[in-house]
Each structure stands twice: as C-alpha cells, then as structure tokens.
Chains A and B, each alone.
Chain A
Amino acid sequence: MKKICLLLIVPLLVVLSGCDLFTEWLSFSPFPGYLAQAVDAVDISGEITEFLDNEEDDWLSELYVLRRPSDQKDFVFLIVQKGGGEQRVYAFDESLELKSYATIDHHNEIHLVEADGRFFVGDVHFDPVTLSPTPDNQYLWGHAFSTAGIWNFLLDGAGQQCRFESRSLVDWSPGTSKLPKVEFSASGDINYNLQNIGYDPLLMEVYLFFYNWEEGFLRIIKTPEGDYVSGLPAAGGYLIPEFAPYPYEFSPRIYDVREEYFWYTRKGMVAGAHNDGLLYLLNFNGERIDQLRVTNDHRMVIDFDIDGEFFYYFDEPNSRLYKAVTGW
C-alpha cells in the first residue's frame, strides 16, 4: 500500500511542480517577494545617512534604470530627496557597484538617455562612459525620451489633450513644434493623466500610459517614433488627430490597476495592481500574462530593465538596493 501511495505521490508532485498555481502557492510569503528573487543587493545606508545628516525622518526616493545604447548595459540611478528639496543622485552599474553621485538643490523627475548619449536623471547629466556627473538646472517636468543623435522629446498632458514638445539634444532648447497631439474629447473620454511613457529604440515605438482618474482605468497608446522625429504636417503646427481616425493603436480600457505604477518592457506592459505590492504583466490588449508579488507594502521604489528580465528595488527602511529577476 505504501509503495502504491509513493508511486502516486511522486508523479503528482512532479506534475504539480510544473503547475504555476502550485509553485505560486509555495512561493507565498509574509516577507517581500523581491527577497527571494534577488540576485544581488547592496547596502547604501552609510551613504544615505551621510547625505541626510539630521533629516532622516523626512525623505523620499526614486529609482530609474537606463540602458547605455553603445553596449546595451543597464545603469541604475537612485534619487534620494530630502524634504526640503535637496536631492542626491547615486549612479550604479548593473552589478550594483556605486560609481558616482551628484547633489543638487531641487527635484526633477525627468530621466532618459539623451540624444547625445548621456544619462539625464533628475537634472544631472552622467557621462555614459565614466558616469561622472554634471549637475544641470533645466527645471523640466513631464516625461521624456530621445531619438539617438536627433532630439530629446518632452511629453506631458492632462485632461482632454496631451501636447508634446521637442527639445535640443544638447541644451534642451525648443525644437520643432510639429508633434503628435492626442485629443480625447471626440471619444467621450476625458480626465486623463499621462502617467508614464515607454520608449523602445529597437522597435522605434513610444508607448504612452494614460490613466483616467475619473473612472479608474488605463489606456495605452502606441505611437511610432518617426512621427516625433519628422514632425507631422498639421494646421497651426500641430497634428490634431481626432480619436476615431487616429492612426495609432489604442489599447482597450484596462481596469484594476493603480495610477502610479506603469512601465514598458519587452515582455509586456507592467502595471501595479490595487492589491498592494502586486504587479501585473499585461499585453497591449490589457490581458494579464503574468504577475509578480514584489512586496506587501503600498509604496514601491522600483524600476525594470527594458527587456523585462530584471527589476531593481530599493528597500527604503533598510537603505538596501536589490537587483532581482522577474521570472517572466
């Protein structure tokens, strides 16, 4: 009888171990999920304590991952911002070795690889080779991407319209004004915020993440990079595409996502679920491909590499930066 039980149990376990639901149940933990997915981690509490000095109770952090075009290596930029506005940007390579940092006196959430190849993070330029920082004071807001060697583009929008600007690749001075414009009024959809953008230089596409704060859903718009580069002929210098004939792809409405957390990866779109610490991997149609329980906390300081292979998570209470696999 025991032998029969063993003969049944062993194959059952083998089958179950290949079952996503079974492995998901086994992986549930009261501890943050990123711990078990971490492949590297670094303690930067000393650096942060030194920067914060006596203001340790009132600080925030942001995390950005940018890829160097020349060799496709990722770099991690951690911004620590004091309550008073002063910020320090720490630059790490993908093995989480701290390469440099810069301190500036105000906060700016723009981050991108500039058109000339430099990393621009929170108003600091980092040399793509040496990672030596050069503070800048652009006072820019919104979301940005660049097309290599051509233009930096600044995007922002709220309400019924989303207007984009282009800026010089070097000094961010205004460039062409013939840029796409998204107008929602014709569709009946209003009250949108542009929450994030995703730029894929391989596919040469720009993904715009619009969140409707009135009704609580996400819409993703896929736009070709070429439209930003060439500028489009339109009356008054702007393309004013109405919703119905709009040439770009719109995702359907995607519900059950939080408005703060959206990322583009080549594995799919990542969105924060209402359930704290849970992230969904979505396809463009809003269907869930996979999910990831990062933590049980409401707040996450996290970013993904563009391939969707790794994510980087900053544990604020312990001042530890983790590199972790997504498993997607």
Chain B
Amino acid sequence: MKYRGIGLLAALATTLFLSTAVAWSQETVSVPGLEKTCLFDTIDLSGSDDYQEYQGIISDQLRAELKNAGFELVPREEWDAARERAGLRMQELSKGDSALEVAAAVRADMAVVSFFSVEDTLMALDIKCYDVEQKALITGVFKSVRINLSIYNALAEAVAELVPKIRLLGPPPVSESPVVEEIALLSKDEGMDIYLGDEGFVGKITDGKLLLPPIPFAIGTKISIEKKKEGYHPGEETVKLKKPEMIVSLDPLRKQTRYATEFNWTFGQLLGFGIAERLYLKPDMTYLSAEHYFYVQHNFSGGKPVFHHDIRALFGGYLLTGPDRFFRINMSAGFGMIVTYFSITDQPMYADFYWDIMNTSFELNFQKYILYFRYEAKYALGLGPMNLLGRSWITVFGDGGPTVFTLGLARKW
C-alpha cells in the first residue's frame, strides 16, 4: 500500500513534468501572431524547365519544416484561387508586394516566398518571409549552391536555417507606421529613368517628380536608387527611409561632357591668360586639347615689354576618379611652342619648342564648371636656330626643376 502510494506520486510527477515539457515545447515552436502561413510554390526564374525537380524539393522541404515548427499552412487551392482572382501570374509572387496581396486575401499572418535561378551549374536560392499585417519583410535566407549530389543537403540546410530565424523574431514591435507608405522622388532631370535594386525600373521623373509604386519597405531600411538618362552619366544614391512619407530630392545627374573651354592663369605668365578647348574622346574621361596662352613679360622698371604666345596640344585623361566625383585627378601630356617677339624695333622672332612631359591637375568637379590647380612639367627642347630657353626645364626660379603652376576654370559643354 505504502509503495503503491509512492508509485502513484511518481507517475503523477512524471505526467506533470511531461505535460509541462510539451507545453513549453509548443510555445517555442510557433510565434504568436504568425501561426497562419501562406507558403507559395517555389518559383524557377531560370526561364527553363530543366530544374523543375528542385521546385518540388524546395517546396516540400519548406512545407515539412514549417509544419513541424507548428505553423498552420493555408491550403494551396485556397491561395492559388486568391492569386487568380488578383490576376497575378505565379512568377509574380516572387515580388514581395504581390505575395503580400495574395496572403492578405486568404487572411494569412505570414507569407513565405521562395525562388531560384540557375546559371551554368550554380543555383542562387532566395527564401523570404513577410509579415502580412505589417507588410514588412521578417527574414530571409539566400544560398548559392552548385548543382551536384550535395545540392539536396544544401537545400535542406537553407530551409532548416529559415525556421529558427522566424522563431527568434517573436512578435513584431508595436508601431503605428512600421513601413514606408509613400516615397516621392524629386528631381530636375526631367525624363530620368529610376531603378530600384531588385524591383528594377520603377518609373520616369515627370514634371519634376516620381511617386514610387507601393513597396513595403520597413522604416529604417536603406534603398539604392539608380538614375539613368540619355546624354547623362548614370548615378546612384542610397537613401535611408526614416518616416512613412518620404520626399527625396535626388542629386542631379551629370551631363556627359563632349567639349570644355578652359581659362588658364599660369604663374610666371601672370600678365596674360590662356584659352584652351577640350574635345572629349570619351565623355569626361579622355580628351584632346589645344591651348593658346598669350602673355606679356614686363618688369615695370623702364624696360620694354616682350610678348609670348604659348601654343600647345595635349592628350589628357582622368585617373581613379569617375565623372560623378567632386574631386578628380587629371593627367595630360603633349607638345608645344612658345613664340616670342619684342616691342623694341628690329628684333627677330623666337620659337621655343617644348615637350609637355606631364601635367597633373587637381580638380573640383562642379555641374557646369571645373576649377583646377595644375602642376606642369615642361621641358624646352632647344630645337631650331632661334630659341631663348635652350634645352632645359621651363621654370620660373631657375633652380633646376619645373615650377609652372596654373589656376584654371573650365566650362563644360
């Protein structure tokens, strides 16, 4: 009798322990508010029927894992009917907003989309989970796997990896507006095409504005906006979405420069100025230029002025820095000739030919203008019977090195 009582107590304790353990286990499996799940068929974006078998494998794996984790799955017939009612093709469910629309129609808490594409023998698999009520991305898994025998393990791992991530999330934070409801892009570049990361082309700037189609971006996310327009360099901006209604003023695109006119002022040639014309072989990157710099040499002490015409041809290009950069480095080289004549009578005309070995410019790249400081290394060749500089560096101070500096402003056309 005594031992029967002990046995009953033990059985009761065991029952209590097991029921507690089961209850605890149930709680960790499903996430409150996300129980009803709309799992869509895996979509093959490869554009080929060769990989259909993987669609089934991935879908089955996902289904099994989600069921095991305690999620209630919406029957396929139900969500497929909703898809058809919405007029959406199966392929379109790879986009978050389409998937959310169908999931909302069947009153699901969570939508799970999976899609892959295969290039050569490499498969890129993407699985995303969305909170239907919040219209926000909960989590996702991206895997890149080679198609061979190990692919089954890799797919199982990807699917298995997803579920714990959902568990860890818990209920979403309470917020009145957790997603961005409206994004308006403002730009002076009329007709500019706008692309958004995965979404691709989303519209053109019209009348200075583009209202983006509703895409459930969570507040705090950063979006990458690509800008393209004929005759302009493409641009890209990253914008952080901070509030439900975003008005984003886009930086203007930089026009592709075909020509530029330079106005130059050179140390050692300050009583004059130069005008040069650049012809870009590749817009804003490589160019040919021709320059004429006229200056007077005078020492303001009773002498008579001497006149110089510096004429040169250069080939130039930009290093390391693209057309959209504000600070750019330019290199150029070429050949030139300085013609000299005097104001005192009966004097001959001189010509000094030189090799413009290397000019290095540090440029501030504005929309229409370039402001630059240029260091010029010019070497007089001493060619011809009538030259004044002989064979030497062209320098102002006579200390052996090239010391010609130019401050310039270029107008881009």
A325 contacts B303, C-beta separation under 8 Å: yes
| Cβ–Cβ contact B389 & A36, under 8 A | no
Q: Is the CB of B390 within 8 A of A30?
A: no
Chain A residues near B268 (CB-CB < 8 A): 28-30
Q: Which of B267, B269, B297 has the most CB of A within 10 A?
A: B297
* B299 adjacent to A37 (CB under 8 Å): yes
Q: Does A38 contact B (CB under 8 A)?
A: yes
Chain B residues within an 8 Å CB radius of A327: 299-303
Mark B343-368 against chain A: 1 for CB-CB distance below 8 A, else 0.
01001101000000000000000000
CB distance from A305 to the nearest CB of B (A): 14
Flag B270-298 by CB within 8 Å of A: 1 or 0 each. Answer: 11000000000000000000000000011
How many residue-residue contacts, CB under 8 A, span A and B? Answer: 98
Q: Does A296 contact B (CB under 8 A)?
A: yes
Task: Tell me, yes or no, whether A116 is within 8 Å of chain B by CB.
Answer: no
- Collect the chain B residues with CB atoms within 8 Å of residue A31's CB: 297, 306, 308, 340, 388-389
Interchain CB contact under 8 A, A275 and B399: yes
- Name the A residues within 8 Å of B197 (CB-CB): none
Say whether B137 faces chain A, with CB atoms less than 8 Å apart.
no
Q: When the two chains form their complex, are residues A35 and B396 in contact, meaning their CB atoms are under 8 A apart? A: no
- Which residues from chain B contact A37 at a C-beta distance below 8 Å? 299, 301-303
Is B297 in contact with A35, judged by CB distance below 8 angstroms?
Answer: yes
Please tell me which stretch of A19-27, A66-74, A104-112, A118-126 contacts chain B, meaning at least 4 of its Cβ atoms lie within 8 angstroms of it.
A19-27
Q: Check if A50 is an interface residue, CB within 8 A of chain B.
A: no
Contact partners of B302 in chain A: CB under 8 A: 37, 39, 325, 327
Q: Within the complex, which residue of B303, B340, B395, B399 is in contact with A38, where a contact is CB–CB below 8 Å?
A: B303
Query: Shortest beta-carbon distance, A270 to chain B, in Å?
Result: 15
Most buried by B among A27, A43, A324, A328: A27
Q: Which residues of B contact A38 (CB under 8 A)?
A: 303-304, 306, 342, 344
Q: How far is the CB of B341 from chain A (nearest CB, A)?
A: 10
Contact B297 A36 (CB under 8 A): yes
Interface size class of A (residues with CB under 8 A): 20 to 34
B192 contacts chain A at the CB level, 8 A cutoff:
no
Is B386 located at the chain interface by the 8 A CB criterion?
A: yes
Structural contact, A27 and B298, CB atoms closer than 8 A: yes
The answer, yes or no, to whether A317 is at the interface (CB within 8 Å) is: yes
> Within the assembled complex, what's the spacing in Å between the Cα atoms of A205 and B270?
43
B404 at the interface (CB under 8 A from A): yes
B398 touches A277 (CB 8 A): yes
Q: Does B305 contact A (CB under 8 A)?
A: yes
Does A54 have its Cβ within 8 Å of any Cβ on chain B?
no
Asked whether B397 is an interface residue with its Cβ less than 8 Å from the other chain, the reply is yes
- B305 and A36 contacting across the interface, CB-CB below 8 Å: yes
**Cβ-defined partner of B398 (8 Å) among A35, A276, A318:** A276
Is B102 positioned at the interface, with any CB of A under 8 Å from its CB?
A: no
A-contacting residues, B324-348, CB 8 Å: 340, 342, 344, 347-348
Question: B218 on the interface (CB 8 Å rule)?
Answer: no
Q: How large is the interface on B (under 10, 10 to 19, 20 to 34, 35 or more residues)?
A: 35 or more
Query: Roughly how many angstroms separate A12 CA and B407 CA in the complex, as a whole number?
Result: 21
A278 close to B (CB within 8 Å)? yes
Contacts of A40 in B (CB 8 A): 344
- Whether A214 is near chain B, meaning CB under 8 Å from some CB there, is no
Interface residue ranges of A271-313 to B (CB < 8 Å): 275-278, 293, 295-297
Answer whether residue A326 sits at the interface, using C-beta atoms and an 8 A cutoff: yes
Q: How far is the CA of A75 from the CA of B48 in the complex (A)?
A: 101
- Give CA–CA (A295, B392) in the complex, Å: 13
Rounded to whole Å, the gap between the CB of A325 and the closest CB of chain B is: 4
Cross-chain contact A28 with B396 (CB below 8 angstroms): yes
Q: Which of B368-413 contact A (CB under 8 A)?
A: 386-390, 392, 394-399, 404
- List A residues 31-50 near B (Cβ within 8 Å): 31-33, 35-41, 43
Q: With A and B bound together, what is the CA distance between A318 and B350 in angstroms?
A: 10
Q: With A and B bound together, what is the CA distance between A43 and B349 in angstroms?
A: 12
Whether A35 lies near B348 (C-beta < 8 A) is: no
Taken residue by residue from 244 to 284, chain A's Cβ proximity to chain B (1 for < 8 Å, 0 otherwise) reads as: 00000000000000000000000000000001111000000
User: Which chain A residue lies CB-closest to B295?
Assistant: A29
Question: Roughly how many angstroms separate A293 CA and B395 CA in the complex, as a whole number?
Answer: 13
C-alpha spacing A32/B352, complex, angstroms: 13
Known contacts A28-B267, A29-B269; is-contact A41 B398 (Cβ 8 Å): no
Given A36-B298, A325-B302, A30:B344 Cβ within 8 A: no
Q: How far is the CB of A200 from chain B (nearest CB, A)?
A: 23
Determine the residue in chain B with the shortest Cβ distance to A295.
B398
- Name the residue in B300, B387, B390 with the highest tally of chain A Cβ atoms < 10 Å from its Cβ: B300
Shortest CB distance B303–A (Å): 4
Q: How far is A40 from B350 in the complex, measured between Cα atoms in Å?
A: 16
Assembly CA distance A296 to B300 (angstroms): 19
Q: Which residues 128-142 of A sit at the B interface, judged by CB distance below 8 A?
A: none
In the complex the two chains form, is B306's CB within 8 Å of A36's CB?
Answer: yes
Of chain A, the residue at the smallest CB distance from B340 is A31
Q: Shortest beta-carbon distance, B133 to chain A, in Å?
A: 59
Beta-carbon contacts of A73-104 to B below 8 Å, as 1s and 0s?
00000000000000000000000000000000
The closest CB in chain A to the CB of B350 belongs to A318
In the complex, the chain A residue whose C-beta lies closest to that of B403 is A30
How many angstroms between the C-alpha atoms of A36 and B297 in the bound complex? Answer: 6
Interchain Cβ contacts under 8 Å between A and B, 26 examples = A25-B270, A26-B270, A26-B298, A27-B299, A28-B396, A29-B308, A29-B396, A31-B340, A31-B389, A35-B342, A35-B388, A36-B297, A36-B305, A37-B301, A38-B303, A38-B306, A38-B342, A277-B398, A296-B396, A317-B390, A318-B386, A318-B387, A325-B301, A325-B302, A325-B303, A326-B301
Q: A: which residues have CB within 8 A of B?
A: 23, 25-33, 35-41, 43, 275-278, 293, 295-297, 315, 317-318, 324-328
Beyond A30-B389, A36-B304, A296-B392, 14 extra complex contacts between A and B, CB < 8 Å:
A26-B298, A28-B268, A29-B396, A30-B394, A35-B388, A39-B302, A41-B344, A43-B348, A295-B398, A296-B395, A318-B387, A324-B303, A327-B301, A327-B303
Leading 9 A-B pairs by shortest Cβ distance: A327-B301, A296-B398, A37-B303, A325-B302, A27-B299, A276-B398, A36-B297, A29-B297, A23-B300
